[in-house]
Structure 1
C-alpha cells in the first residue's frame, strides 16, 4: 500500500482537472480524479483512503458546497473548495459548509500546493494510536474531554469516542487551550493558525469556533460555556484545564 498522501480532485473541466492532477502528482502525492458528484461518491467508496478532497463548486450534477456539507457531517476528511466565486460571502459559506480552506480560480499551482500541504500537515496521521491510547504524549482533561495536543487527539473520557475535528478546528482549540482564561481577539487566533486578516481570517475563526462548540457539546444551556464569547473583543477559554 502506498504511504503517500492521497488526494481526490473533483473538477468537471478536463484541462483544469488534468493540470491539477499532474502538478500534485509531480509534487509526490497519489492523485485520483472525478468529474462529477456521482463519480466522487463512487471513488470515495472504492478508494479505501482519501486524505484530502479538492472540490469544485460548479459540478454538472451537484453543488460542491452541499457536497462539502454532507461529507463534513460524517468525516473529518480534509476539504479545500476550489471555485470561481471570490466574494467574502462565498468564502464564508464554504467554511460554514465544513471546508478547511477555499481557493479561487484562476490560481497559481504553487499556491494550491502550499494550501494542500498546510491542510495535510495539520491533519492527524490516519490510524495513529499514541498519547491518549498509549505511548508518548501529554494529556489534559477539559470537562468530559481528554486532549492530547502532541498527537492531535481528543476523545470523550467516558465513552472513549473521538471527536471528529478537522485540522483547522483542532488548531483553534489548541490555541485556546494554550491560553486558558485569557481574552484572545479574532485576529490573534487567526494569525496563530496561519490565517491572514486580508483573507477573512477573523470570520473563519468565528465559523471554526461555532463548529467546535457543536462538536464538543459546548452549549450555553444549563451552565457556562467552555469557549466564551466576549462581545466586541473575541473569545476566552473558560473551562478548567487539568493535566492527567
Structure 2
C-alpha cells in the first residue's frame, strides 16, 4: 500500500494545476487534481478523503470559500487555501471558514511544500505526547488522541490548527503568549505584522470552547492568556 501523503489540488487554471502536480510529485507526494467542487466530490466519493486539499479560492461556479465551508461542516480534512496576493479579506474569511492555512499567489512552489508538510505534521498526533487535561471541570482534552469533549455537549469539532493552538494554551496556562510565539509554535514560521491568522484562529477557538465563560483573554498589545482552570489528569 502506498504510504505517501495524498494531496488533492483543486485549481481551475490548467497550467498552474499541472505545475503544482508535477512539483508535489517530485517532492514525494501522491497527487490528484480537479478543477472545482464537483471534481472534489467525485474524488471523495470514489477514493475517500485525501490527506490534504490545496484549494484555490477563485473557482468558477462554487468558489473556494463555499467549498471550504462545506468541507469543514462535515470533516476535519486539512485545507490549504490559495488566495490572490494582497486580498486580506479572502484570507481572513478562509481562516474563519476553517482553512488550516493560506498561501497568496504568486508563490514559490518550495513554500507550498513547506506549508503542506507543516499542516500534515500538525494533523498527526504526537506519539510521545500523552497528556490529558480538564478545563473548568467541563472540558476534557486529550492531546495524544486530539480529542476534546464537553461534559454536556459531547465531542467538539476542532480543526488541526485549532487543536494545536489549544495545546499551546493548555501547556502554558496563565501566561501571556504573544502572536509571534503562537505563530512560531503552531505554524513554524514568523508572523508578519499584518498577519491576522492567529487572531482569526483564536476567535474560532473561543466560539467552540467558551461555553460557560471566557477562557482566553486578549491582553492589549501583548497577545493572549488562557485564564481557565487547567488540571492535568
TM range (shorter): 0.7 to 0.9
Q: When the two structures are superposed, what TM-score results if normalisation uses the length of structure 2?
A: 0.87
Alignment of 1:69-218 (within 5 A): 69-124=69-124, 137-143=130-136, 144-149=138-143, 151-156=144-149, 158=151, 161-193=154-186, 194-198=188-192, 200-201=194-195, 203-216=196-209, 218=210
Structure 2 residue runs of 5 or longer lacking an equivalent are none
Matched residue count:
231
1:82-101 CA deviation, whole Å, 9 max, x = no partner? 13343333322221222111
Q: Distance in 1 between matches of 2:203 and 2:223?
A: 13
1:55-106 CA deviation, whole Å, 9 max, x = no partner? 0112122211121122112211111111334333332222122211111222
Q: Which moved more, 1:37-46 or 1:111-120?
A: 37-46
Indicate the RMSD between aligned Cα atoms, in angstroms: 2.5
> Are 2:65 and 2:97, in contact at CA under 8 Å, matched by a contact in 1?
yes
> Are 1:11 and 1:36, in contact at CA under 8 Å, matched by a contact in 2?
yes
Name the CA shift for 1:41/1:62 in 2 (closer, same or farther; >3 Å).
same
Name the CA shift for 1:199/1:47 in 2 (closer, same or farther; >3 Å).
farther
Q: When the two structures are superposed, what TM-score results if normalisation uses the length of structure 1?
A: 0.84
Structure 1 residue runs of 5 or longer lacking an equivalent are none
> Are 2:150 and 2:156, in contact at CA under 8 Å, matched by a contact in 1?
no
> Are 1:153 and 1:162, in contact at CA under 8 Å, matched by a contact in 2?
no
| Cα displacement (A) at 1:53 | 0.6
SS in 1 for 2:231: strand
